Amino acid sequence: MNNFNEFNLQEEIVKALEALEYTIPTKVQEQVIPKALLGKNLTVQAQTGTGKTASFVIPLCEKISWEENSPQALILAPTRELAIQICEDVKNIGRFKRLKATAVYGKSPFRDQARELKSKTHIVVGTPGRVLDHIDKGTFDTKDLKYLIIDEADEMLNMGFISQVEDVIENIPKKRTTMVFSATLPDEVAMLCSKYMEKPVNIKIESESLITNEIEHFVYRSRGDDKLECFKKLLIKEKPDTAVAFCKTKENVELAYQFLRALGYSVGKIHGGMLQKQRIEAMEGFKRGDFRILIATDVAARGIDVEGITHVINLDIPLEKEAYVHRIGRTGRAGKKGKAITFVTQFEDRFLKAINEYIGFEIEEREVFELKTNKAEEEVAVALLKKSGGKKVEKAKSINKDITKIYFNGGKKKKLRAVDFVGTISNIEGVSVDDIGIIEIQDAGSYVEILNGKGKIALNALKKITIKGKTLKIEIARK
Protein backbone atom coordinates (compact mmCIF):
# COMPACT_ATOMS: atom_id res chain seq x y z
CA MET A 1 0.00 0.00 0.00
CA ASN A 2 1.45 3.33 -1.09
CA ASN A 3 -0.39 5.85 1.10
CA PHE A 4 -3.20 6.39 3.60
CA ASN A 5 -5.61 7.66 0.92
CA GLU A 6 -6.20 4.05 -0.09
CA PHE A 7 -8.08 3.46 3.19
CA ASN A 8 -10.81 5.91 2.02
CA LEU A 9 -10.58 7.90 5.25
CA GLN A 10 -12.52 11.07 5.98
CA GLU A 11 -10.98 14.30 4.77
CA GLU A 12 -10.36 15.52 8.34
CA ILE A 13 -8.36 12.38 9.21
CA VAL A 14 -6.31 12.53 6.00
CA LYS A 15 -5.53 16.20 6.65
CA ALA A 16 -4.26 15.36 10.15
CA LEU A 17 -2.14 12.45 8.89
CA GLU A 18 -0.55 14.69 6.27
CA ALA A 19 0.22 17.35 8.89
CA LEU A 20 1.75 14.64 11.10
CA GLU A 21 3.83 13.41 8.13
CA TYR A 22 2.28 9.96 8.02
CA THR A 23 3.02 8.91 4.45
CA ILE A 24 3.32 5.16 3.81
CA PRO A 25 1.47 2.76 6.16
CA THR A 26 3.62 0.31 8.12
CA LYS A 27 2.93 -3.43 7.91
CA VAL A 28 0.78 -3.46 11.04
CA GLN A 29 -1.19 -0.42 9.85
CA GLU A 30 -1.67 -2.01 6.43
CA GLN A 31 -3.16 -5.14 7.99
CA VAL A 32 -5.06 -3.70 10.96
CA ILE A 33 -6.71 -0.52 9.62
CA PRO A 34 -8.92 -2.12 6.89
CA LYS A 35 -10.20 -4.81 9.28
CA ALA A 36 -10.73 -2.31 12.10
CA LEU A 37 -12.72 -0.08 9.74
CA LEU A 38 -14.98 -3.07 9.06
CA GLY A 39 -15.58 -3.45 12.81
CA LYS A 40 -13.74 -6.77 13.19
CA ASN A 41 -12.56 -8.04 16.58
CA LEU A 42 -8.77 -8.29 16.40
CA THR A 43 -5.85 -9.79 18.29
CA VAL A 44 -2.67 -8.20 17.02
CA GLN A 45 0.81 -9.43 17.86
CA ALA A 46 3.26 -6.65 17.03
CA GLN A 47 6.38 -5.23 18.62
CA THR A 48 6.91 -1.71 19.94
CA GLY A 49 7.99 0.68 17.19
CA THR A 50 5.94 -0.90 14.40
CA GLY A 51 3.33 1.87 14.28
CA LYS A 52 0.72 -0.15 16.16
CA THR A 53 -0.70 2.81 18.11
CA ALA A 54 -1.68 4.60 14.90
CA SER A 55 -3.09 1.32 13.58
CA PHE A 56 -5.92 1.49 16.12
CA VAL A 57 -6.12 5.27 16.67
CA ILE A 58 -6.71 6.02 12.96
CA PRO A 59 -9.75 3.71 12.55
CA LEU A 60 -11.12 4.80 15.94
CA CYS A 61 -10.99 8.46 14.95
CA GLU A 62 -12.59 7.55 11.63
CA LYS A 63 -15.48 5.63 13.23
CA ILE A 64 -16.22 7.92 16.19
CA SER A 65 -19.20 10.25 15.82
CA TRP A 66 -18.56 13.85 16.95
CA GLU A 67 -22.26 14.45 17.65
CA GLU A 68 -22.49 11.91 20.49
CA ASN A 69 -21.75 13.33 23.95
CA SER A 70 -20.81 10.23 25.98
CA PRO A 71 -17.62 8.17 25.47
CA GLN A 72 -17.69 5.80 22.50
CA ALA A 73 -14.26 4.17 22.92
CA LEU A 74 -12.06 3.01 25.79
CA ILE A 75 -8.33 2.36 25.40
CA LEU A 76 -6.61 0.53 28.27
CA ALA A 77 -2.84 0.94 28.74
CA PRO A 78 -0.57 -0.56 31.44
CA THR A 79 1.04 2.73 32.55
CA ARG A 80 0.08 6.37 32.85
CA GLU A 81 2.97 7.42 30.58
CA LEU A 82 1.67 5.23 27.78
CA ALA A 83 -1.90 6.43 28.43
CA ILE A 84 -0.75 10.05 28.11
CA GLN A 85 1.12 9.27 24.87
CA ILE A 86 -1.86 7.48 23.31
CA CYS A 87 -4.18 10.31 24.38
CA GLU A 88 -1.91 12.80 22.59
CA ASP A 89 -1.96 10.62 19.47
CA VAL A 90 -5.77 10.56 19.54
CA LYS A 91 -5.93 14.34 19.93
CA ASN A 92 -3.54 14.89 17.03
CA ILE A 93 -5.11 12.42 14.61
CA GLY A 94 -8.64 13.48 15.57
CA ARG A 95 -7.78 17.20 15.67
CA PHE A 96 -9.67 18.34 12.57
CA LYS A 97 -12.66 16.15 13.46
CA ARG A 98 -12.78 17.96 16.83
CA LEU A 99 -12.52 14.70 18.78
CA LYS A 100 -11.91 15.00 22.51
CA ALA A 101 -9.86 12.43 24.40
CA THR A 102 -9.46 12.19 28.18
CA ALA A 103 -6.62 10.36 29.95
CA VAL A 104 -7.33 8.85 33.39
CA TYR A 105 -4.59 7.33 35.54
CA GLY A 106 -3.41 7.07 39.14
CA LYS A 107 -1.47 9.70 41.12
CA SER A 108 -3.39 12.44 39.32
CA PRO A 109 -6.36 14.32 40.86
CA PHE A 110 -9.49 12.18 40.55
CA ARG A 111 -11.76 15.24 40.68
CA ASP A 112 -10.10 16.87 37.66
CA GLN A 113 -10.48 13.68 35.64
CA ALA A 114 -14.12 13.32 36.73
CA ARG A 115 -14.79 16.88 35.56
CA GLU A 116 -13.30 16.11 32.14
CA LEU A 117 -15.33 12.92 31.85
CA LYS A 118 -18.47 14.87 32.70
CA SER A 119 -17.97 17.15 29.71
CA LYS A 120 -18.22 15.88 26.14
CA THR A 121 -15.60 13.15 25.70
CA HIS A 122 -15.33 10.82 22.71
CA ILE A 123 -12.44 8.55 23.72
CA VAL A 124 -11.17 7.62 27.18
CA VAL A 125 -7.59 6.37 27.59
CA GLY A 126 -6.56 5.02 30.97
CA THR A 127 -4.91 2.52 33.26
CA PRO A 128 -7.19 -0.32 34.42
CA GLY A 129 -7.21 0.62 38.12
CA ARG A 130 -8.18 4.26 37.63
CA VAL A 131 -10.74 3.38 34.94
CA LEU A 132 -12.36 0.98 37.43
CA ASP A 133 -12.39 3.72 40.09
CA HIS A 134 -14.30 6.03 37.76
CA ILE A 135 -16.74 3.26 36.80
CA ASP A 136 -17.35 2.35 40.47
CA LYS A 137 -17.93 5.98 41.48
CA GLY A 138 -20.22 6.67 38.54
CA THR A 139 -17.99 9.31 36.96
CA PHE A 140 -17.40 7.29 33.77
CA ASP A 141 -20.57 6.50 31.83
CA THR A 142 -19.80 3.34 29.82
CA LYS A 143 -23.27 2.61 28.42
CA ASP A 144 -22.49 3.96 24.92
CA LEU A 145 -19.03 2.39 24.52
CA LYS A 146 -18.71 0.74 21.12
CA TYR A 147 -14.95 0.10 21.03
CA LEU A 148 -12.49 -1.42 23.50
CA ILE A 149 -8.74 -1.41 22.84
CA ILE A 150 -6.35 -3.23 25.16
CA ASP A 151 -2.78 -2.12 24.41
CA GLU A 152 0.34 -3.99 25.53
CA ALA A 153 -1.70 -6.84 27.02
CA ASP A 154 1.43 -8.81 27.87
CA GLU A 155 2.66 -5.89 29.98
CA MET A 156 -0.74 -5.82 31.72
CA LEU A 157 -0.11 -9.45 32.62
CA ASN A 158 3.46 -8.83 33.82
CA MET A 159 2.25 -6.00 36.06
CA GLY A 160 -0.62 -8.03 37.53
CA PHE A 161 -3.42 -6.02 35.92
CA ILE A 162 -5.26 -8.76 34.02
CA SER A 163 -7.90 -9.24 36.75
CA GLN A 164 -8.58 -5.48 36.70
CA VAL A 165 -8.87 -5.61 32.91
CA GLU A 166 -11.48 -8.36 33.29
CA ASP A 167 -13.38 -6.27 35.85
CA VAL A 168 -13.45 -3.37 33.38
CA ILE A 169 -14.71 -5.64 30.59
CA GLU A 170 -17.51 -6.92 32.84
CA ASN A 171 -18.70 -3.32 33.29
CA ILE A 172 -18.96 -2.28 29.64
CA PRO A 173 -21.45 -3.26 26.90
CA LYS A 174 -21.08 -6.78 25.51
CA LYS A 175 -22.00 -5.53 22.05
CA ARG A 176 -18.77 -3.82 21.00
CA THR A 177 -15.67 -4.12 18.84
CA THR A 178 -12.61 -5.31 20.76
CA MET A 179 -8.97 -5.09 19.70
CA VAL A 180 -6.10 -6.52 21.74
CA PHE A 181 -2.48 -5.56 21.00
CA SER A 182 0.48 -7.41 22.49
CA ALA A 183 4.16 -7.90 21.65
CA THR A 184 3.88 -11.49 22.83
CA LEU A 185 0.83 -13.69 23.40
CA PRO A 186 1.17 -15.58 26.72
CA ASP A 187 -1.47 -18.21 27.57
CA GLU A 188 -3.24 -15.90 30.03
CA VAL A 189 -3.65 -13.20 27.36
CA ALA A 190 -4.85 -15.78 24.81
CA MET A 191 -7.42 -17.02 27.37
CA LEU A 192 -8.62 -13.45 27.96
CA CYS A 193 -9.17 -13.01 24.22
CA SER A 194 -10.99 -16.34 23.96
CA LYS A 195 -13.26 -15.49 26.90
CA TYR A 196 -14.29 -11.97 25.91
CA MET A 197 -13.97 -11.77 22.12
CA GLU A 198 -16.26 -13.22 19.46
CA LYS A 199 -14.51 -14.70 16.42
CA PRO A 200 -11.40 -12.50 16.58
CA VAL A 201 -9.19 -12.13 13.52
CA ASN A 202 -5.60 -12.95 14.48
CA ILE A 203 -2.85 -10.78 13.02
CA LYS A 204 0.82 -11.43 13.66
CA ILE A 205 3.46 -9.01 12.43
CA GLU A 206 6.83 -10.72 12.26
CA SER A 207 9.41 -8.62 14.06
CA GLU A 208 12.06 -7.94 11.47
CA SER A 209 14.09 -5.72 13.79
CA LEU A 210 15.27 -8.70 15.85
CA ILE A 211 16.45 -10.80 12.93
CA THR A 212 17.92 -8.19 10.58
CA ASN A 213 20.84 -5.81 10.84
CA GLU A 214 18.72 -2.78 11.80
CA ILE A 215 19.77 -3.25 15.45
CA GLU A 216 23.27 -4.28 16.43
CA HIS A 217 23.24 -6.23 19.71
CA PHE A 218 26.18 -6.81 21.99
CA VAL A 219 27.05 -7.56 25.61
CA TYR A 220 29.78 -6.32 27.94
CA ARG A 221 30.84 -8.35 30.96
CA SER A 222 30.90 -6.36 34.20
CA ARG A 223 31.91 -7.20 37.76
CA GLY A 224 28.95 -5.20 39.00
CA ASP A 225 30.82 -2.70 41.12
CA ASP A 226 32.52 -1.25 38.02
CA LYS A 227 29.32 -0.89 35.98
CA LEU A 228 29.02 2.91 36.15
CA GLU A 229 32.66 3.37 35.20
CA CYS A 230 32.11 0.99 32.26
CA PHE A 231 28.98 2.97 31.38
CA LYS A 232 31.03 6.16 31.22
CA LYS A 233 33.62 4.51 28.97
CA LEU A 234 30.87 3.15 26.74
CA LEU A 235 29.33 6.60 26.29
CA ILE A 236 32.73 8.06 25.41
CA LYS A 237 33.34 5.26 22.90
CA GLU A 238 29.88 5.31 21.33
CA LYS A 239 29.09 9.06 21.53
CA PRO A 240 25.32 8.44 21.26
CA ASP A 241 23.14 11.10 19.70
CA THR A 242 20.16 9.99 21.79
CA ALA A 243 20.20 7.10 24.27
CA VAL A 244 17.92 5.42 26.78
CA ALA A 245 19.66 3.53 29.59
CA PHE A 246 17.52 1.08 31.57
CA CYS A 247 17.87 0.13 35.23
CA LYS A 248 15.78 -2.37 37.19
CA THR A 249 15.13 -0.09 40.19
CA LYS A 250 14.57 3.61 40.84
CA GLU A 251 17.57 3.55 43.20
CA ASN A 252 19.81 2.40 40.34
CA VAL A 253 18.35 5.11 38.10
CA GLU A 254 19.25 7.74 40.71
CA LEU A 255 22.80 6.38 41.08
CA ALA A 256 23.43 6.41 37.32
CA TYR A 257 21.80 9.84 36.91
CA GLN A 258 23.83 11.45 39.70
CA PHE A 259 27.01 9.80 38.39
CA LEU A 260 26.59 11.26 34.89
CA ARG A 261 25.34 14.59 36.19
CA ALA A 262 28.48 14.96 38.31
CA LEU A 263 30.47 14.53 35.09
CA GLY A 264 28.47 17.34 33.51
CA TYR A 265 26.82 15.06 30.96
CA SER A 266 23.51 15.96 29.31
CA VAL A 267 21.23 13.55 31.19
CA GLY A 268 17.66 13.15 32.43
CA LYS A 269 15.85 10.54 34.51
CA ILE A 270 12.43 9.00 34.87
CA HIS A 271 11.22 6.49 37.47
CA GLY A 272 8.17 5.66 39.58
CA GLY A 273 9.38 7.58 42.62
CA MET A 274 9.12 10.93 40.81
CA LEU A 275 6.05 13.16 40.88
CA GLN A 276 3.80 12.77 37.85
CA LYS A 277 4.52 16.36 36.79
CA GLN A 278 8.28 15.67 36.91
CA ARG A 279 7.88 12.52 34.83
CA ILE A 280 5.86 14.30 32.17
CA GLU A 281 8.41 17.13 32.07
CA ALA A 282 11.23 14.57 31.68
CA MET A 283 9.44 12.84 28.81
CA GLU A 284 8.68 16.11 27.04
CA GLY A 285 12.27 17.32 27.53
CA PHE A 286 13.68 14.12 26.06
CA LYS A 287 11.35 14.38 23.07
CA ARG A 288 12.49 17.95 22.45
CA GLY A 289 16.16 16.98 22.72
CA ASP A 290 16.81 19.00 25.89
CA PHE A 291 19.16 16.23 27.01
CA ARG A 292 20.98 13.41 25.25
CA ILE A 293 20.72 10.48 27.68
CA LEU A 294 17.64 9.31 29.58
CA ILE A 295 18.07 6.95 32.55
CA ALA A 296 14.84 5.04 33.17
CA THR A 297 13.05 2.10 34.74
CA ASP A 298 10.97 -0.11 32.45
CA VAL A 299 7.57 0.96 33.75
CA ALA A 300 8.32 4.69 33.79
CA ALA A 301 9.65 4.59 30.24
CA ARG A 302 6.44 3.20 28.74
CA GLY A 303 5.05 5.84 26.45
CA ILE A 304 8.42 7.32 25.50
CA ASP A 305 7.94 7.47 21.76
CA VAL A 306 10.93 9.35 20.39
CA GLU A 307 12.25 9.10 16.86
CA GLY A 308 15.97 8.78 16.25
CA ILE A 309 17.06 6.96 19.44
CA THR A 310 20.47 5.62 18.45
CA HIS A 311 21.27 3.52 21.53
CA VAL A 312 19.41 1.44 24.09
CA ILE A 313 21.69 0.52 26.98
CA ASN A 314 20.72 -2.12 29.53
CA LEU A 315 22.68 -1.07 32.61
CA ASP A 316 20.76 -3.85 34.33
CA ILE A 317 19.88 -6.85 32.18
CA PRO A 318 16.10 -7.38 32.08
CA LEU A 319 14.97 -10.34 34.16
CA GLU A 320 12.15 -11.12 31.71
CA LYS A 321 13.16 -12.00 28.16
CA GLU A 322 10.12 -10.15 26.77
CA ALA A 323 11.30 -6.95 28.48
CA TYR A 324 14.47 -7.07 26.36
CA VAL A 325 12.34 -6.90 23.22
CA HIS A 326 10.27 -4.03 24.63
CA ARG A 327 13.39 -2.07 25.59
CA ILE A 328 15.31 -2.40 22.35
CA GLY A 329 12.19 -1.63 20.31
CA ARG A 330 12.92 2.04 20.93
CA THR A 331 15.87 2.02 18.53
CA GLY A 332 16.32 0.85 14.95
CA ARG A 333 12.98 2.31 13.90
CA ALA A 334 11.80 3.34 10.44
CA GLY A 335 14.74 1.65 8.73
CA LYS A 336 17.36 3.49 10.78
CA LYS A 337 20.27 1.72 12.45
CA GLY A 338 20.42 1.32 16.21
CA LYS A 339 22.48 -0.36 18.92
CA ALA A 340 21.32 -2.45 21.88
CA ILE A 341 24.06 -2.79 24.50
CA THR A 342 23.72 -4.86 27.67
CA PHE A 343 25.92 -5.13 30.77
CA VAL A 344 25.96 -8.61 32.32
CA THR A 345 27.56 -9.88 35.54
CA GLN A 346 28.67 -13.48 36.13
CA PHE A 347 25.50 -14.10 38.17
CA GLU A 348 23.18 -13.11 35.32
CA ASP A 349 24.12 -15.67 32.66
CA ARG A 350 20.75 -17.43 32.92
CA PHE A 351 18.93 -14.24 31.94
CA LEU A 352 21.24 -13.73 28.97
CA LYS A 353 20.73 -17.34 27.88
CA ALA A 354 16.93 -16.92 28.04
CA ILE A 355 17.13 -13.75 25.93
CA ASN A 356 19.38 -15.43 23.34
CA GLU A 357 16.95 -18.35 23.02
CA TYR A 358 13.97 -16.00 22.78
CA ILE A 359 15.37 -13.75 20.03
CA GLY A 360 16.81 -16.68 18.10
CA PHE A 361 20.52 -15.84 18.08
CA GLU A 362 23.44 -15.37 20.44
CA ILE A 363 24.27 -11.78 21.25
CA GLU A 364 27.91 -10.98 20.53
CA GLU A 365 30.00 -10.60 23.69
CA ARG A 366 32.70 -7.93 23.91
CA GLU A 367 35.38 -7.24 26.47
CA VAL A 368 35.39 -4.14 28.65
CA PHE A 369 39.00 -3.42 27.69
CA GLU A 370 37.72 -2.72 24.15
CA LEU A 371 36.18 0.46 25.55
CA LYS A 372 39.62 2.05 26.01
CA THR A 373 40.06 5.38 24.26
CA ASN A 374 42.86 7.90 23.89
CA LYS A 375 42.84 11.37 25.41
CA ALA A 376 41.92 13.15 22.17
CA GLU A 377 38.92 10.85 21.65
CA GLU A 378 37.80 11.44 25.23
CA GLU A 379 37.97 15.22 24.92
CA VAL A 380 35.83 15.20 21.77
CA ALA A 381 33.32 12.73 23.24
CA VAL A 382 32.98 14.49 26.59
CA ALA A 383 32.38 17.83 24.87
CA LEU A 384 29.61 16.19 22.84
CA LEU A 385 28.07 14.39 25.82
CA LYS A 386 27.83 17.65 27.73
CA LYS A 387 25.71 19.18 24.97
CA SER A 388 21.96 18.74 24.78
CA GLY A 389 20.66 16.24 22.24
CA GLY A 390 19.96 17.34 18.72
CA LYS A 391 16.64 19.17 18.67
CA LYS A 392 13.95 16.71 17.64
CA VAL A 393 11.35 17.56 15.04
CA GLU A 394 8.07 16.81 16.77
CA LYS A 395 5.46 15.61 14.31
CA ALA A 396 2.72 17.20 16.40
CA LYS A 397 4.34 20.63 16.10
CA SER A 398 3.12 21.22 12.55
CA ILE A 399 -0.43 20.29 13.48
CA ASN A 400 -0.40 22.54 16.55
CA LYS A 401 1.40 25.60 15.21
CA ASP A 402 -1.71 27.29 13.72
CA ILE A 403 -4.01 26.54 16.67
CA THR A 404 -5.25 29.17 19.13
CA LYS A 405 -7.09 28.00 22.23
CA ILE A 406 -9.69 30.52 23.45
CA TYR A 407 -11.21 30.63 26.94
CA PHE A 408 -14.81 31.76 27.61
CA ASN A 409 -16.01 32.39 31.18
CA GLY A 410 -19.27 30.53 30.63
CA GLY A 411 -20.18 26.87 30.40
CA LYS A 412 -22.79 24.37 31.52
CA LYS A 413 -24.10 26.58 34.34
CA LYS A 414 -25.02 29.18 31.71
CA LYS A 415 -26.61 26.39 29.63
CA LEU A 416 -24.04 26.72 26.85
CA ARG A 417 -23.44 23.79 24.49
CA ALA A 418 -20.80 23.02 21.88
CA VAL A 419 -23.29 23.75 19.11
CA ASP A 420 -23.74 27.31 20.45
CA PHE A 421 -20.03 28.01 20.02
CA VAL A 422 -19.91 26.35 16.59
CA GLY A 423 -22.88 28.36 15.35
CA THR A 424 -21.52 31.70 16.57
CA ILE A 425 -17.90 31.22 15.51
CA SER A 426 -18.70 29.81 12.05
CA ASN A 427 -20.73 32.97 11.33
CA ILE A 428 -17.66 35.19 11.79
CA GLU A 429 -16.45 36.52 8.45
CA GLY A 430 -13.34 34.64 7.35
CA VAL A 431 -13.96 31.72 9.74
CA SER A 432 -15.75 28.46 8.83
CA VAL A 433 -16.77 25.28 10.63
CA ASP A 434 -13.53 23.70 9.36
CA ASP A 435 -11.58 26.26 11.42
CA ILE A 436 -13.11 25.08 14.71
CA GLY A 437 -11.26 22.40 16.65
CA ILE A 438 -11.86 20.64 19.97
CA ILE A 439 -14.51 22.24 22.20
CA GLU A 440 -14.45 21.62 25.95
CA ILE A 441 -17.48 22.74 27.98
CA GLN A 442 -16.94 22.84 31.76
CA ASP A 443 -19.32 24.00 34.49
CA ALA A 444 -18.08 27.59 34.72
CA GLY A 445 -15.92 27.96 31.62
CA SER A 446 -15.32 26.67 28.11
CA TYR A 447 -12.36 26.21 25.77
CA VAL A 448 -12.51 26.30 21.97
CA GLU A 449 -9.64 25.63 19.59
CA ILE A 450 -9.46 27.81 16.48
CA LEU A 451 -7.48 26.16 13.67
CA ASN A 452 -5.67 27.20 10.50
CA GLY A 453 -4.21 30.41 11.91
CA LYS A 454 -7.67 32.02 12.29
CA GLY A 455 -7.31 32.60 16.04
CA LYS A 456 -6.73 36.37 15.85
CA ILE A 457 -9.69 36.92 13.52
CA ALA A 458 -12.00 34.88 15.77
CA LEU A 459 -10.75 36.47 19.00
CA ASN A 460 -11.25 40.03 17.76
CA ALA A 461 -14.74 39.29 16.47
CA LEU A 462 -15.85 37.36 19.57
CA LYS A 463 -15.07 40.31 21.82
CA LYS A 464 -17.84 42.25 20.04
CA ILE A 465 -20.59 39.60 19.92
CA THR A 466 -22.53 37.33 22.29
CA ILE A 467 -22.77 33.56 22.60
CA LYS A 468 -26.42 32.47 22.80
CA GLY A 469 -27.31 36.03 23.85
CA LYS A 470 -24.75 36.02 26.67
CA THR A 471 -21.82 38.44 26.92
CA LEU A 472 -18.75 36.46 28.00
CA LYS A 473 -15.22 37.34 29.00
CA ILE A 474 -12.93 36.02 26.27
CA GLU A 475 -9.15 35.54 26.25
CA ILE A 476 -6.42 33.29 24.91
CA ALA A 477 -6.33 30.23 27.18
CA ARG A 478 -3.42 29.85 29.55
CA LYS A 479 -3.52 26.08 29.49
Q: Of 160, 185, 206, which residue constitutes the final position of a domain?
A: 206
pLDDT of residue 396: 62
More confident residue, 195 or 279: 195
Put simply, whether the predicted model's pTM sits higher than 0.85 gets the answer: no
Q: Which amino acid would we find at residue 421?
A: F
CB 27 within 8 A of CB 37: no
Distance separating alpha carbons of residues 307 and 444, to the nearest angstrom: 40
SS3 assignment, position 470:
strand
Q: The CATH number of the domain where 288 resides is what? A: 3.40.50.300
Instruction: Using alpha carbons, list the distances in angstroms from residue 282 to 8, 106, 261, 479.
Output: 38, 18, 15, 19
Instruction: Using alpha carbons, list the distances in angstroms from residue 131 to 88, 166, 218, 345.
Output: 18, 12, 40, 41
Instruction: Give every CB contact of residue 323 below 8 A, 6+ residues apart in sequence.
Output: 158, 298
Are 60 and 117 in the same domain? yes
What are the tens digits of pLDDT across the range 444-461? Answer: 999 999 998 999 999 999
DSSP structure string for 449-469 = EE-TT-HHHHHHHHTTS-BTT
Are 284 and 146 in the same domain? no
Are 198 and 60 in the same domain? yes
DSSP structure string for 286-355 = HHHTS-SEEEEEHHHHTT---TT--EEEESS--SSHHHHHHHHTTSS-TT--EEEEEEE-GGGHHHHHHH
Q: Of 160, 188, 206, which residue constitutes the final position of a domain?
A: 206
Give the pairing of strands 436-441 and 446-450.
antiparallel
User: What is the band of 72 on the pLDDT scale with cuts at 50, 70, 90?
Assistant: very high
Dihedral of CA atoms 303, 304, 309, 312 in degrees, nearest 10, equals -80
Res. 209: pLDDT tops 50 = no
Question: Alpha helix locations (H) across 360-394?
Answer: 375-385
Are 109 and 247 in the same domain? no
Q: Of 177, 206, 235, which residue constitutes the final position of a domain?
A: 206
**Burial category of 247 from C-beta neighbours within 10 Å (exposed 0-12, middle 13-18, buried 19 and up):** buried
Sheet of 446-450, strand order: 436-441, 446-450, 404-408, 474-476
SS3 assignment, position 225:
coil
What are the tens digits of pLDDT across the range 19-28? Answer: 888 888 999 9
CB 343 within 8 A of CB 222: yes
Are 135 and 40 in the same domain? yes
Are 355 and 457 in the same domain? no
pLDDT of residue 458: 95
Length of the chain as a residue count: 479
Number of domains in the chain: 3
Residue 105's domain spans which residues? 4-206
Q: The CATH number of the domain where 456 resides is what? A: 3.30.70.330
Residue 320: phi and psi, rounded to 5, are: -105, 130
User: What is the pLDDT of the chain when averaged over all its residues?
Assistant: 89
CB 396 within 8 A of CB 88: yes
Are 303 and 381 in the same domain? yes
Are 288 and 413 in the same domain? no
What are the tens digits of pLDDT across the range 150-175? Answer: 999 998 988 899 999 999 999 999 99
Distance separating alpha carbons of residues 100 and 97, to the nearest angstrom: 9
**Burial category of 345 from C-beta neighbours within 10 Å (exposed 0-12, middle 13-18, buried 19 and up):** middle
Distance separating alpha carbons of residues 78 and 272, to the nearest angstrom: 13
